[in-house]
Amino acid sequence: MGAPTIDELREQVRAPVITAGDPGYDEARAVHNGMFDKHPAVVVRAEQVADVIAAVNYARDASVDLSVRGGGHSAPGFGTNDDGMVIDLSLLRHVHVDPQARTARAGGGATWGDFNYATHAYGLATTGGIVSTTGIGGLTLGGGIGYLCRGYGLSIDNLVSAEVVTADGQVLTASADEHPDLFWALRGGGGNFGVVTSFEYRLHPINDVYVGLFFYELEHAEALFRFYREFINDADEAYGAFPAFQIAPPLPFIPEDRHGDTFCVAVVHWAGPLDQGENAMKPFRDLAPRVAEMVGPMPYPALNSAFDPIFPKGIRSYWKGNFVTELTDAAIDQHLIHGPKVPEVSATMHLYPINGACHRVDADDTAFAYRDANFATVIVAAWQDPAVDRQRIQWVRDYYDATAPYSEPGGYVNFMADDDQNRVEDNYRGKFTRLQEIKRTYDPENLFHLNQNIPPT
Ligand SMILES: Cc1cc2nc3c(=O)[nH]c(=O)nc-3n(C[C@H](O)[C@H](O)[C@H](O)COP(=O)(O)OP(=O)(O)OC[C@H]3O[C@@H](n4cnc5c(N)ncnc54)[C@H](O)[C@@H]3O)c2cc1C
């Protein structure tokens, strides 16, 4: 039998099957990162698990490259390709909440915005990312670092089960009781093991949170970093907080004559009792004078979407990241050199805390390899003008190179650039061999290779 044709695929799939020349092709092939302008042969916009099964079978039997796209945020643009197939899950976004069990089941293409909208109606939430347009799919499979992780763990620590279409077109449930090896690998191993058509998460009573956004003059950056590393070490787990470097956007709470200036910033939130929120902000007010601040209660989904406008779809971007166990004085010195050179409003360095509840999960329980790290650094530049590609990428690389000697060899897989594939073994350190074994079981031919790839051999 010969390789299947796209006409045969169209006969098997009820969902939209889009090829070059079809209406909507340009929209269907686009991903968030505007650096990746690729032309897949076919995009299947899956609406049901049956569509995913048919598409996986087609890609395998036709031997074409396969991209699996959830929210489309992959920094290396893994959600699209040239001449292959894309399974676009963005129509699989339904979220069903069980308020009694405090769980939610969400389609594999839902974004955190979809998820929060559904769960907030019940006063519930779980750990998602920093912006709401990111897909639950890619973010969860890599680990899931976000505002709530000190209190409630990484996104994977809240994953109860996943429904997965594997490379042979089977539908499996992965959980602590069913296919536990696959469940282990999905929790940190990225998109290597199949297409997750739905994720089931544990939820927590989170409704409104108290938020503080503090802008300090750059001369206070050293004080901010030194204060932060001590403070976050044993701060109440209701706190999420991270320092950043940021060019002031034209927001009303920032004095107009300071728009466009560079600051060091503390992004703080308190997910404890709201009447303690004002007091919770005090340490960040006491540490240095603020040029601008925005402080007050807000619904958790509003916090989760506060930075969305800075990262619109199509913006060009380049990322690098590291795990950090100890934030040394020498590391801070490098932040003080490179952070203030942040080149765009949409460029930044965030130093996320991953202690608290993240540390209470046993290191062997999931494929996430750096349970003992205290921070995850992300250095990201995003910009509109292709003429500055080289300069923007260079700022990220210089900053990364300068801080790498004070960081762990590996970084968070979701913060890797397209030139980071050689870091995969470091990113998974002691877990890599087991991940390879599980890859051999579920995807021996490496159908799912457009990701931070764990080759079967
Ligand atoms: C603006 C922005 C903010 C971010 N903030 C955070 C943050 O706060 N915390 C954090 O942890 N990360 C963050 N990230 C990184 C993010 O976690 C990764 O880029 C992640 O891969 C995005 O997932 P996605 O589904 O949107 O992307 P996609 O490009 O759709 O997917 C990325 C990869 O994940 C896999 N994948 C996605 N969905 C599925 C699925 N359902 N089944 C199987 N495989 C799938 C595929 O291998 C795919 O190539 C951010 C990224 C951006 C662009």
pLDDT in tens, 266-319: 999 999 999 999 999 999 999 999 999 999 999 999 999 999 999 999 999 999
Q: What is the mean pLDDT of residues 84-102?
A: 98
CA of 327 to the centre of ligand 1 (A): 26
Nearest to 92 by CA among 52, 134, 32, 133: 52
Q: What is the pLDDT of residues 27-71, one digit of tens each?
A: 999 999 999 999 999 999 999 999 999 999 999 999 999 999 999
Cα dihedral 128/131/135/140 (nearest 10): -30
CA of 139 to the centre of ligand 1 (A): 4
Distance CA(451)–CA(323), nearest Å, equals 20
Q: What is the CA radius of gyration of the chain?
A: 21
Alpha helices in 177-235 (DSSP H): 180-186, 221-234
Q: Residue 1: pLDDT above 90? A: no
89 Cβ closer than 6 Å to some ligand 1 atom: yes
Q: Which pTM was predicted? A: 0.97
Distance CA(103)–CA(126), nearest Å, equals 9
Nearest to 279 by CA among 236, 222, 227, 217: 236
| 134 CA: nearest ligand 1 atom | 26
- Give the angle subtended at the CA of 310 by the CAs of 326 and 37, to the nearest 5°: 100
CA of 318 to the centre of ligand 1 (A): 14
Q: What is the mean pLDDT of residues 92-103?
A: 98
What is the spatial order of strands in the sheet that 195-202 belongs to?
95-98, 103-107, 195-202, 159-165, 171-175
- Mapped onto helix, strand or coil, the DSSP state of residue 219 is helix
- Mapped onto helix, strand or coil, the DSSP state of residue 116 is helix
Q: What is the pLDDT of residues 236-270, one digit of tens each?
A: 999 999 999 999 999 999 999 999 999 999 999 99
Q: Residue 2: pLDDT above 90? A: no
Q: What is the pLDDT of residues 354-372, one digit of tens each?
A: 999 999 999 999 999 999 9
142 Cβ closer than 6 Å to some ligand 1 atom: yes
Residue nearest to atom 23 of ligand 1 (CA): 138
Q: Residue 204: pLDDT above 90? A: yes
Distance CA(220)–CA(267), nearest Å, equals 15
Residue nearest to atom 17 of ligand 1 (CA): 139
Nearest to 216 by CA among 193, 243, 182: 243
Pairing between strand 103-107 and 95-98? Answer: antiparallel
196 Cβ closer than 6 Å to some ligand 1 atom: yes
| Residue 212: other Cβ atoms inside 10 A | 23
Alpha-carbon separation of residue 386 from 81, 156, 381, 383 (angstroms)? 20, 36, 13, 8
Q: What is the mean pLDDT of residues 79-89?
A: 98
Mean residue pLDDT across the chain? 97
